[in-house]
Amino acid sequence: MVYSEECDFIFRLKGILEFACQLDNPNGAQSKCTISKSFQDLRSKVSSKNTVFTVCNSPVLIWPNTGFQSSVESLTEASACGDILQCIDSDDGGSKKSSKKKDKKKSGPTVVNMKLLFEVTEPAGNEAPSLIRVSTQQHCVKMPLPLDCALSVTTDERLATVCKGLVEALNKQLADMEEVVLQYRKGSSFLVPQPFHFQLPEPSGLITVVYPAGVPDSQLQAVREDLHRKFELPCDRPYLRRANAFHFPDAAYKDGYLRNPHIHLNPPNIEDAKLYLVQGVYSYHHYMQDHVDDNGWGCAYRSLQTICSWFQQQGYVETAVPTHKQIQQALVDVGDKEPRFVGSRQWIGSIEVQAVLNQLLGVTSKIMFVSQGSELATKGRELANHFQTEGTPVMIGGGVLAHTILGVAWSENSGQIRFLILDPHYTGGEDLQTVTDKGWCGWKGPEFWDQNAYYNLCLPQRPKTI
Amino acid sequence: MGRSYFVDEAVEEYLSGLQAAPGSCVTGLLAGQSSPQRDFVVLAVQTPHRESEGQPKASKGVGPLDDIDVEWVTEHAKQVSRMLPGGLSVLGLFLLTPPELSKDAQNALKRLIFAMEKYIIKGRLWELSEEDVTDRVTLHICSKTKKLVCKTFDVKDPKSSAKPADWKYQTGISSSWPMLTCSVEVDLQIPVTGSSSDNTDKCMKDGLRRWAKQIEAAYCLVNGRQALDDSELISGQKKNPKTTNRQTLPTRIFVSDEQVELDERSTALVQVCSGSMRVRGVVHCRAYIHNNKPKVRHAAQAIKRDLINTVCSRVEMFLEDLLINEGSQKGLCSEQQALPRRVFAPMSISGLSVCDYMFPDESTADVAERLKEMLDCETPEEDIDTSLESIFSAISGSEITDSHDDDSSKHVISEIQAENPIIQKAPQYYAGVAIAAAVALLATVTSLLYFN
């Protein structure tokens, strides 16, 4: 997760806009025009004077299409967008304590959430209502469009400009949604168009793509290929699968697992060493999670879960992280273990990890064998290469323990090395402070390994796919 | 610790002026505003004479109390509810009896109050919140001693018993109550499935209910303030009881299309409909809020409920009227018809407005008549404000069919519209011609008789 250095704010506007139209003949040629006309009406609606943005957790209402009016006197056309923070009630009572600032620098830009509303008062005329009855057979189509626009801006950008930008983004999104709706429509069956945000490498930045609901990623390959070409993205790794969607800094992860605890650590102080770290996002899996008491035997399983979570969150697979039983069953299925293995507390090693990754995720892995723990200190180049090209977490098993290696700090000149270790033996709760302070995720030296035991490392390889 | 009712002196005057035939009872309504701390009564209206009184129903009970026409009292209550703007509602009933019936009066009042509440809330599209007061007041007046007995019943609980309450008279209770106003654009597209008129009614109700939920959830700016928390509507102003100026607070309402049940869908909702109904136009809304430290959110709730009520009332009245005039739904041609429009009139002493609905073929004279009958108040016709909502003018044929891809219905619509204005003018026009002709005939006959 790399944020553009200049971007201080992300303004995110969400709202549901109901799409409705009446089709006399859903399969007729006229129906396309009717649908397009309805989308045109929606575009006019968001550009009208009745469009209002409200800033969540604040009394601010903004009319972006009437030369910028706001309900709060302090916010005018000339206001910088940073001024909006003064109006928002944040959860910690608004006062920014200095101790919180230390973490703030790592958490990226501030997200300002806004909601799309429409004013129904202040009408143009005052004609009393009438009732219009139409009595022709028709198909009535109603669909809620989940609009979601995001703009990355700097602090000194004017609020009025940001709002104009959001209105333009709404228009563009409606046009994209129209395209998707028409493309995937079959007669009177319509798929809801859903927007996804992706943080692409500079200069593209934050973009939004509309995908049809219910169509799996596997069937959208051609769409992604076009987009990879358009944004000049490498063709061998996924950027635009739904799982790759940008995770807004203010959103909590619903499953409760910690993500990338390593980013909160300070790198080791070795002269001349470069950092070679895992790329992307993984979840920290460890003992006692999910109400499974695997204390003493489950460490390799947990490391395997961490690796599976990586493949899921980078968009390579859609399957959920496997449970201990599912892992064991996979080994039975490939003939590696007897059926009574399932439900047992037997340990597994790197070879089994490789087998399960292949069976459940279709992922191949390289095995690296080290006859003595002391030799690991010499594997700097291999590990550095792995993190540079594949960037996947590495499972290491040996002695009586299994761990996950998330990266190395290695100096080519001096050969000095440190290993970034994620320890699955942690039995506590998902508390970032404890995990980092107590070294459950931390930098270790070569003495960390049992110098006499032999080790096997499983290095998962990224499938070449988008 | 019972409720306290602060009652306008005009109500005292009205109640003491009530005349009852000896031995009989007088029923009537009490209207005003309830707030969690106290209640205000600003209007009392006796139940009007029922016209079909030529043949009195065979007395089924032992006395005048049993002869009270419960149905008529509740119907009156419903009609009056429609005429009250937001913030005001029917708070209870009064019953004037001769001394010998006083001890049975409480039972009669209890029956009436529950029946009335049940009837009034039928068809209401907004839900009561926890803060809404569910106590209704019953006032018993002895025709001889003029003694008042004031009690309340909690209409949420059918088994509740009467609780004593205070009844205090004050002048100018509502004279400085702020008035919220807004004009709201309504444009509802309601699909109709099935073809019977019952179906149409149900679809209409469902469509209106969805819209009402949207309004209840809407953001609201009252006089520039949002109803975000417990903030007060009029803060920073010293309460000056001598101020007779009534503040007008403009209100703005903002909706989103969010409907919880639709959120998780991955496909559109498609229904095969036999037609659709569209309610389109601008309604004018008004609400009053007491000035005893009112909160913004109560004011917002009052005006939103007025908005929901006014749209519902008109549609209800229109469909009732349609049923009477047309029998069952014609349903074969497409047409646009005006819904009754809202007009306002001031109540004599309190200065609060009441409202009424005028069908296209009616005049302010009809409104004045209804105000006299339902609210027992004389209103000069020129005081009736018809300017807030203007008469609809037929919109062009292409606008009605804007979502259609079938051209054939277009010409049918424009034909019907061309006919409509003429049909609407007909009764008054022909009436005028008839009278003129009659006068001419009479003059001719008279002159023939005299000069022959």
How would DSSP label each residue in A261-274? GGGGSPPP--TT-E
Residue with tokens 């409920």: B305
Q: Which of residues 315-344 of B touch A (CB under 8 A)?
A: 315, 318, 331-339, 341-342
Quote the distance between the C-alpha of residue A153 and its chain's center. Answer: 20
* pLDDT value, residue B333: 47
Mapped onto helix, strand or coil, the DSSP state of residue A302 is: helix
State the number of CA atoms in the 13 A half-sphere of B42 facing the CB.
Answer: 27
Contact B403 A214 (CB under 8 A): no
Is residue A297 included in any domain, yes or no? yes
CB of A122 closer than 8 Å to CB of B252: yes
The per-residue pLDDT for range A345-390, each reduced to its tens digit, is 999 999 999 999 999 999 999 999 999 999 999 999 999 999 999 9
Residue B241's pLDDT is 53
- Is there a domain that residue A374 lies in? yes
The predicted structure's pLDDT at residue A81: 85
What does the alpha-carbon distance between residue B176 and residue B294 come to, in Å, rounded to a whole number? 13
* Sheet with B166-170, edge to edge strand ranges: B163-164, B148-154, B135-142, B89-97, B26-34, B39-46, B4-8, B166-170
CATH topology of domain B4-170: Cytidine Deaminase; domain 2 (3.40.140)
Distance of CA A50 to the CA centre of its chain: 34
Helix (H), strand (E) at residue A98:
helix A98-104
Where is pLDDT greater, at B199 or B40? B40
B311 and A129 within 8 Å at the Cβ level: the answer is yes
Which ranges in chain B are annotated with CATH 3.40.140.10?
4-170
Cα nearest neighbour of A125 on chain B:
B282
Shared domain for A279 and A383, answered yes or no, is yes
Asked if B215 and B307 touch (Cβ cutoff 8 Å), the reply is yes
Q: Of A213, A244, A275, which residue is a domain's last?
A: A244
Q: Is A125 in CB contact (< 8 Å) with chain B?
A: yes
Residues of A with Cβ-Cβ distance to B386 under 8 angstroms: none
Listed residues A189, A209, A244: the one ending a domain: A244
Residue that the structure tokens 């007060």 belong to: B232
Q: Which two tokens stand for residue A394?
A: 């590495």
Is there a single domain that holds both residue A340 and residue A196?
Answer: no
More confident residue, B447 or A315: A315
Q: Counting one residue from A and one from B, how many pairs have CB atoms under 8 Å apart?
A: 232
| Angstrom distance (rounded) from CA B354 to CA B288 | 11
State whether residue A427 is helix, strand or coil: coil
A31, pLDDT greater than 70: yes
Residue B16 reports pLDDT greater than 50:
yes
What Cα–Cα distance (Å) separates residue B184 from each residue in B23, B220, B288? 50, 12, 17
- pLDDT for position A377: 94
| B269 with A143: Cβ contact below 8 A | yes
Of B225, B275, B277, Cβ closest to residue A131: B277
Q: Looking at the complex, report in whole angstroms how far the Cα of residue B380 sits from the nearest Cα belonging to chain A.
A: 23
Residues ≥6 apart with Cβ < 8 Å to B292: B35, B37, B38
For A:69-88, CB contacts with B below 8 A are 71
Residue type, A95: S
CB contact under 8 A, B270 and A188: yes
Same domain, residue pair A146 and A265: no
CB of B160 closer than 8 Å to CB of B238:
no
CB contact under 8 A, B334 and A132: yes
Chain A residues with CB inside 8 Å of B273's CB? 22, 137-140
- Indicate whether A439 and A408 sit together in one domain: yes
> Residue B244 burial (CB < 10 Å; 0-12/13-18/19+)?
exposed
**CB-neighbour burial class of residue B270 (10 A; exposed 0-12, middle 13-18, buried 19+):** middle
Whether A42 is covered by a domain: the verdict is yes
CA–CA gap between residue A52 and residue B242 (Å, rounded): 39
User: Looking at the domain assignment, is residue A80 inside a domain?
Assistant: yes
Q: How far is B200 from chain A (nearest CA, A)?
A: 10
Can you tell me whether residue B250 is helix, strand or coil?
strand
pLDDT of B331 above 80 = no
- What is the per-residue pLDDT across A78-120, written as a single tens digit (0 to 9) for each? 888 888 888 888 654 443 443 344 444 445 789 999 999 999 9
Co-location of A349 and A214 in the same domain: no
pLDDT higher than 60, residue B23:
yes
Instruction: Say if A283 falls within a structural domain.
Output: yes
Mean pLDDT of A189-195: 94
The mean pLDDT of A250-263, rounded to a whole number, is: 92
Q: What is the pLDDT of residue B56?
A: 53
The B residues from 387 to 416 touching A (CB cutoff 8 Å) are 388-393, 400-406, 409
At residue B66, the pLDDT reads 77
Average pLDDT of the residues in A393-415: 94
Instruction: Based on the fold, state whether residues A328 and A231 are members of the same structural domain.
Output: no
What element of type H or E holds A404?
Answer: strand A401-410
Cis before A203 (ω within 30): yes
Give, in order, the Cα–Cα distances in Å from B276 to each of A27, A131, B188, B210.
Answer: 20, 10, 10, 16
Query: Would you tell me how many other CB atoms lie within 10 Å of the CB of residue A249?
Result: 14
| A238 and A267 within one domain | no
The domain of A73 spans 9-88+108-120+137-244
Judge contact between A13 and A147, C-beta under 8 A. yes
Residue A257: what are its φ and ψ, rounded to 5°?
-75, 150
Q: Mean pLDDT across the stretch B244-271?
A: 80
Please state the rounded mean pLDDT for residues B117-122. Answer: 90
With 60 as the cut, is the pLDDT of residue B262 above it?
Answer: no
Q: Is pLDDT of B450 > 70?
A: no
The pLDDT-based confidence of A249 (bands split at 50, 70, 90) is confident
Q: What is the pLDDT of residue A163?
A: 93
- Give the best residue of A17, A25, A87, A121 to mutate against chain B (max B CB count within 10 A): A121
Best probe of the B interface among A132, A145, A182, A186, by most B CBs < 10 A, is A132
CA–CA separation, A163 and B42 (whole Å): 47
pLDDT grade, residue B444 (50/70/90)?
Answer: low
pLDDT at B242: 52
Is pLDDT above 90 for B369?
A: yes
Q: What is the 3-state secondary structure (H, E, C) of B91-151?
A: EEEEEEECHHHHHHHHHHHHHHHHHHHHHHCCCCCCCCCCCCCCEEEEEEEECCCCCEEEE
* Final residue in a domain of this structure, among A244, A276, A301: A244
Which region, left, alpha or beta, applies to residue B73 given φ > 0 means left and ψ of -120 to 50 means alpha? alpha
Sign of CA dihedral B438, B441, B446, B447: positive
Q: How far is A192 from chain B (nearest CA, A)?
A: 5
Confidence label for B412 from pLDDT (cuts 50, 70 and 90): very low
- Interface contact B409-A136, CB threshold 8 A: yes
CA distance B265 to chain A (A): 8
In a domain, A3, yes or no: no
Most confident of A302-316, B255-269, B292-306: A302-316
Q: How confident is the model at residue B52 (pLDDT cuts 50, 70, 90)?
A: low
Which residues of A are known to be catalytic?
A: 299, 423, 425
The CATH number for A287's domain is 3.90.70.130
Chain A positions in Cβ-Cβ contact with residue B342 (cut-off 8 Å): 128
pLDDT category, B424, cuts 50, 70, 90? very low
Give the pairing of strands A455-460 and A365-370: antiparallel
Give the pTM.
0.83
CA distance B307 to B212: 9
Let me know whether A318 and A447 are in one domain. Answer: yes
CA closest to A212 among chain B residues: B266
Question: Looking at the 3D structure of chain A, how many domains does it have?
Answer: 2
The pLDDT assigned to B398 comes to 41
Cα→Cα distances A379→A213, A335, A416, Å = 46, 32, 11
Tokens read off for B273: 């409909």
Domain annotation covers residue A255: no
Average pLDDT, chain B: 81
Q: In this predicted structure, what is the pLDDT of residue B325?
A: 76
